Amino acid sequence: MMNILKGDLVQFALTGRFDVIIHGCNCFCSMGAGIAKLIRDNFPEAYQADLKTGMGDKKKLGAYSMARIERNDNIFTIINGYTQYDFSGHGVLVDYEAIQKLFAGIKNDFANQKIGYPKIGAGLAKGNWEMISDIINKELQGEDHTLVEYSKI
């Protein structure tokens, strides 16, 4: 089951709490709002990894790009998870199948690591967190994974 922690995902990563942090991205290499912007501003390596993917490529949905980050004697991986096609429009933008595919891939590629993430797809992408959390719990069953609910520490 999902652990829940209040605080700042980026700060937790910088202090070594997680081996892997995941955030949701659109397929247009923008990382211009929400936690994606925070990651872009603090970890240019993650943004560079995003820029190496095809801009506007719908085939990215459910896949990810990644960057290995070294800061303050801590090493962790940032996953840019492609969980929505576009970044604007009416209605739900998150793609639930992409969430499922992404987290199945995370389980396969990052098993036995400490994984942290925000409410992927439930903020600016307007998805249903109950549905998303059910998908994450199912796909990461048996893994050490934590939802970080943002709050200033």
pLDDT digits (tens, 9 = 90+) for 52-93: 999 999 999 999 999 999 998 999 999 999 999 988 888 899
Q: Residue 123: what pLDDT?
A: 86
Q: Residue 153: what pLDDT?
A: 61
Q: Residue 23: what pLDDT?
A: 97
* Cα-based distances in Å from 135 to 1, 59, 88, 108, 122: 11, 20, 23, 15, 13
Q: Residue 90: what pLDDT?
A: 84
Q: For the chain, which residues score pLDDT lower than 70?
A: 153
Terminal CA-CA length for the chain? 24
Ordered DSSP codes for 85-129: S-S-SSS--B-HHHHHHHHHHHHHHSTTS-EEE--TTTSTT---H
Q: Residue 134: what pLDDT?
A: 98
SS3 133: helix
Q: Residue 72: what pLDDT?
A: 85
For the entire predicted model, the pTM comes to 0.95
Residue with tokens 């993650």: 46
Q: Residue 87: what pLDDT?
A: 82
